[in-house]
Every structure is written in C-alpha cells, then in structure tokens.
Structure 1
Amino acid sequence: MSLDPTALPVSIDATAKALLAHDYVAERELATTVFLALKLQRPLFLEGEPGTGKTEIAKTLAAMLGRPLIRLQCFEGLDLAGAAYEWNYARQMMAIRVAEAEGTAAHGRLDDELFGERFLIKRALLQAIDPANLVPPVLLIDELDRADEPFEAFLLEVLSDFQITVPELGTVRAVEPPIVVITSNRTREIHDAVKRRCLYHWVGFPDAARERAILARRVPGAPEALSAQIVAFVQKLRGIDLYKLPGVAETIEWTRALMALDALVLDPQTVQHTLGVILKYQDDIARMQGGEAARLLAEVQDAMRSAGRA
C-alpha cells in the first residue's frame, strides 16, 4: 500500500527528508522543531534575519502536506477587522432598506439575520479556524514584529485554543487545528505571552555547506565553480558590519542574476555591477564599491586556491 503524501511525518528524519523533497534544506534543529510542532499541534514561532527562509517554511509545509496556505501579512495598524473578521455593513444596510420597503423591518428575525454568517466577512484568522474547512490549512502569520504590540493580544485565543469569539455569533472553533507558522524579523520584541504558546526556533544564516546545498536545490543549473564562489563571497560579506546582511534569498537571487549574465566565475567588475542584487541599502553598496569588493573577492579566490592545493 502506498504512503499518503499528505500524512504528517513520523520522525525527525522523515520531516527533514520531506522538506528536502520540496527543496527546503533544513538543519537538524529546525527539522526537530517542525516535527514537534506538527506532532504536538503547537504553533511554530520562527525568528531571525530577513531572507533566511522563515516564510518559506510555511509555503513548504503547505505544499508538502497538500494543505491550503492562508497568509496574514502583518503591518502597522493591523487590527481585528483586518486580521480576523468584520461585518459587511453595506450589505446590512441594503438588507435593512429592503426589509423596510417590504414592511418586514419590525420583525425580530431581521436583527438575527443581520449578524449571521451571510453578512460576515472572514479574514485570515477566521478562515484558518473555520469549522467548515475540509482540510486544516497552514496559517502563516508573517512578520508579526511589523504589527503594533496591542495586536498580539488578539492572537492569544487563536494560539491557545484555535478559536475566536465573535460577540454577535459566539465562539468559532476549529474542528481540527490549523498548522500555524509565525515569523518575526525581530525589529522589536514579541510579547512572552505569544512565545509561550509556541515552539520557538531562531533561523540563522546557514553555513557554507548548507548554503551550497540550498543553491543546488533552488538554482540547479548554476555551474559548481560559480556557486562555490558566490557562497564563499556572501559568507565573507556577512562578516562585515553592514546595515543589512544578505540573506539566503539574496544569494539565490544573485546566482540567478549572474546566470542571466552568462557568468561562469566571479570577477571584480561583475561583482561591482551587481552589488544591488545582494545589498539593499545605498550605504552598504557605497562601502563595498571600489577596492573593498575586489579585496573580498581576492580573499575568496586565494582561500579556494589554497583549499584546492591542500
């Protein structure tokens, strides 16, 4: 009998293997945390630098388990109406006018109908715990640190009991909990009350070996020599005090850009002309322009030649 590809993995190794089958190269610690989050039905809280693959975990889990992905992109000013639900006031007013025209507005039944599901607009949080869901989705609450601190209080009921209380309707509770992934770039601290309800993992920059493995998966057509130089250069770049260090996403994007330029190896001119692909702030680009990028590239090439002779 064939295995169900949508079934939850039964071990840490199976989790890592399933992620790898969808081109996500996870370190052992992350695979362990993901396995436990799935096994214990606990939200997964991922914190780390931008571009290190936090959001990609939710996308990979949705693809891996054959579940719909519901994404709540956080931003300053996000409130309950934008994240969970709101009432369709325009339709409610139209229903009132129709009832008045038909002479049925005085009946108590209209009051009950106005705050029924027909007039309820379900946003991401309510969609994720909707008891009508045939398959529990993956709920991605992305960049929670961008939302205002008071918004975190709205999440506590969802994270603890997978339910939302709508005063006019009552409590909406998931039949089976969704898989919840919360990400933060740590531009501010997230309240302990949120973290206590989750399994936590810091997603750091990968070492050179894992970053090369990621490139082999994400940009399979890249020449091996070029990939090795790109990873070594980016690893060196992360050792410099820049405003925004390049993440794995930038490494992948830079590789694709260099391939579009038909580059086979790195050279100082190509690096200079493409710094804007891996560095996103002018001060960082200005610091690396001129001799600094060339010096860094020379160090990379010398280290690779020495390793080749060893």
Structure 2
Amino acid sequence: MSDPPADVDGVLDLLQRGNYVADRSLSTVLFLALKLGRPLFLEGEAGVGKTEIAKVLAETLNRDLVRLQCYEGLDVASAVYEWDYPRQMVEIRLAEAAEDRDRSSLESAIFSERFLIERPLLKALKPSVSGPPVLLIDELDRTDEPFEAFLLEVLSDFQITIPELGTIAAPQPPIVIITSNRTREIHDALKRRCLYHWVPYPEAQRELEILRVKAPTAPEVLSREIVGFIQKLRGMDLFKLPGIAETIDWAEALTQLDKVALDPQAIDDTLGVLLKYQDDIAKIEGSQAAQLLDEVKREQAALPKG
C-alpha cells in the first residue's frame, strides 16, 4: 500500500507513472478528493478516460480495485449483498435431520457472515491488508433513481445496514470514483456528497501525448494526422463522437496495417474502428473523409518543423 500524494504535482506524477496523461485541473480535484476523503464524481462522454482513472489509482497506490458496473435494474442483491440460499437450505435440512429444534440458534447460524455473499459495495467497506480499496461505481447514470437513494447512506457514512447482522461500517473509507456518461441527470443529493469534475475530450496536443504513451509504435506523422482528423470529426454533427479509446484503437489498427500516414482508402477501410453507428460511417466515408484528410494534411504542412 502506498500513501496518497502530498500535493497536486505528486498526483500528476502518480498518474504519469500509470501512463495516464492528465491536465492540472483533473489532478487538483483528484488530490482534493484523496486529501478530504470525499468521493469523486466524474462526468463526460463515453471513452474519455473516466474509468481509467480508478484503474490507475488502484495500480499506482497498490490498492485493490472494487468495481460496480451499473445497469438498469441494479438492486441491493447485485450491488451490496445477498444470502447464499442453497447453503442455508442445506444447513436447515442438516439441522432437521439432527432433530435440532432450537429455531433461534438455527436462525442465528444461517444468517451469519458464513452465508453472506459479498457484492462490490460491501467488499469495499471491509478491511483489507492492502489498505482501503479503490471503489469504482461505473456509469451510475445507467441505474434507476431508487438505487441512487440507497447510495446516499454508503457515501454519507461509508456504512451499510444488513437487517440480520446490523450496521457494517468501513474502518477507513475507500477511495470512491463515480462515473457518469450523462445519459440522465444524477440527483443533487448524491452530487453534494462528492467532488465534481467534467472530463472533456482532450485538446489536440494532449491527445497526441496520449497516443505517444498508449500507442507508442504508431509513426509520429500517422499519430499527428489521426489526432487532426479526429479533432475535426468531433466538430461534426455525428450520433456518437469518437472518444480517446477510439483514437487509441484506430492508431493501433492503422499501425497493424503498416500505415505510416493516413490516406482516403485506409480511412474508409477502418472507419468501423473509429465510428460505431452506420449513419455516422455513411456520412463520413468517401468524399467527406477525403476532404477532412486534405484539410488535416494542409494544416500539418503549415506547422513549423522541428
């Protein structure tokens, strides 16, 4: 287990060690979240690197990563705990076979931690030899509002009440990262318990730095043209704009095809790596892609050398 960094520069170095290229505003809010013991709520489009922040924190701080992947209909049994009913039934049958009629002792036995199946939220509150874990609550906007309400107890006091066992509180609060793609608004009551940061699409220079780290085998000219092309795509009216994840995937795909620079045919052949909806692909492929590429190459040629 490693201690959290002592200042913002330390957080920048920490993220850099985990191959995460962050700006100072993100590093500042992350430092404050670690220092104050507050959950960090990250909003932004899909694929901009929100989830990766939790993974990098767990890796660089040598903590366990506990991930709760949210989805519509997520309930307490899937997120917090449930009882191992088959084993409980076996225990009851064994007690009946042994003619053990003491109902109170049997009830205490079957509703003990031995029969408790821990789900992510409960696991995150339990003590660990590696220290408080990193709890990633991923894509909270996919859940229903009642589940949000349940999270208030967890995020307020870092405790969970199980009727049969009582209240289980964390000896040390976990490092909590919550992400949302903003498909719906999260309730203010939950946001107030967190520090907030919007993770935007990166500007061109930072995206190029990300490619150098995440796709180091891509030729420099190719990386620059990829970033320029994607930056232009993000200014268009598409159903789903490409995120950083798609930028990295595209660079790796083009490198596998031995491309050292973009050309119209390569773009048309690999748009399915970059865009995930046929309407978007149909809008870009062909003459539109060639026009965007021509603009990118002219801009690259106009840049000062060296």
TM-score, normalised by the number of residues in structure 1: 0.96
Supply the distance in 2 between the matched residues of 1:141 and 1:259 (Cα, whole angstroms): 34
What is residue 96 of structure 1 aligned with on the other side?
92
How many equivalent residue pairs?
Answer: 306
Specify the alignment match of 2:70 in structure 1: 74
2:145 match: 149
Which secondary structure does the structure 2 equivalent of 1:29 belong to? Answer: helix
**Aligned with 2:145: secondary structure?**
coil
What's the counterpart of residue 131 of structure 2? Answer: 135
1:174 aligns with 2:139: no
Shift of 1:131: 3.6
1:266 to 262, 268, 275: 262
Question: Could you say which residue in structure 2 is the equivalent of 1:40?
Answer: 36
Seen in structure 2, the aligned counterparts of structure 1 residues 256 and 71 have a Cα distance that, compared at 3 Å, is same
1:196 pairs with 175, 178, 192, which one? 192
Q: For residue 106 of structure 1, report the CA deviation from its aligned partner.
A: 2.7
Please, which of 136, 147, 159 is the counterpart of residue 163 of structure 1?
159
Residue 12 of structure 2 is matched in structure 1 by: 16
3-state SS of 2:43 partner:
strand
CA distance in 1, matches of 2:32, 2:305: 44
Between the aligned partners of 2:200 and 2:4, the Cα distance in structure 1 is 25
Aligned-partner residue type, residue 227 of structure 1:
S
- Equivalent residue, structure 1, for 2:280: 284
Where does residue 211 of structure 1 map in the other structure?
Answer: 207
Contact 2:264-2:286 within 8 A present in 1 as well: no
CA contact (8 A) 1:96 1:105 kept: no
CA deviations over 1:75-133 (Å, ceiling 9, x no partner): 01100010000111111111111000001133421111111101111100000001466
Q: Matches of 1:107 and 1:164 in 2, distance apart?
A: 27
Matches of residues 224-263 of structure 1 in structure 2 within 5 Å?
Answer: 224-263=220-259
Counterpart amino acid of residue 217 in structure 2: G
Quick one: which amino acid aligns to residue 142 of structure 1? D
In 2, Cα distance between equivalents of 1:134 and 1:224: 40
Contact 2:62 2:130 in 1 (8 A): no
The residue aligned with 1:87 is 83
Q: Which structure 2 residue ranges, 5 or more long, are not aligned?
A: none
Identity among equivalent pairs (%) = 61
For the Cα contact (< 8 Å) 2:211–2:248, is it kept in 1? yes
Q: What stretches of structure 1 of length at least 5 have no aligned partner?
A: none
CA distance in 2, matches of 1:36, 1:131: 23
- Pick closer, same or farther for the CA change 1:228–1:6 going to 2, 3 Å: same
The answer as to whether partners of 2:267 and 2:285 remain within 8 angstroms in 1 is no
1:220 is displaced (CA, Å) by 1.3
- Output the CA distance in 1 between the equivalents of 2:19 and 2:114: 41
Aligned to 1:110: 106
**Alpha-carbon distance change, 114 to 133 in structure 1, aligned in 2, over 3 angstroms:** farther
Q: Does 1:54 align with 2:50?
A: yes
CA deviation vs aligned residue, 1:148-191 (integer Å, no higher than 9, x gap): 11110111111111110111100001111110100000000001
Which letter maps to 2:4?
Answer: L
3-state SS, counterpart of residue 150 of structure 1: helix
Aligned-partner residue type, residue 51 of structure 1:
G
SS at match of 2:241: coil
Residue type matched to 1:262 in 2? D
Q: What RMSD over aligned residues (CA atoms) do the two structures have, in Å? A: 1.3
1:31 matches 2:43:
no
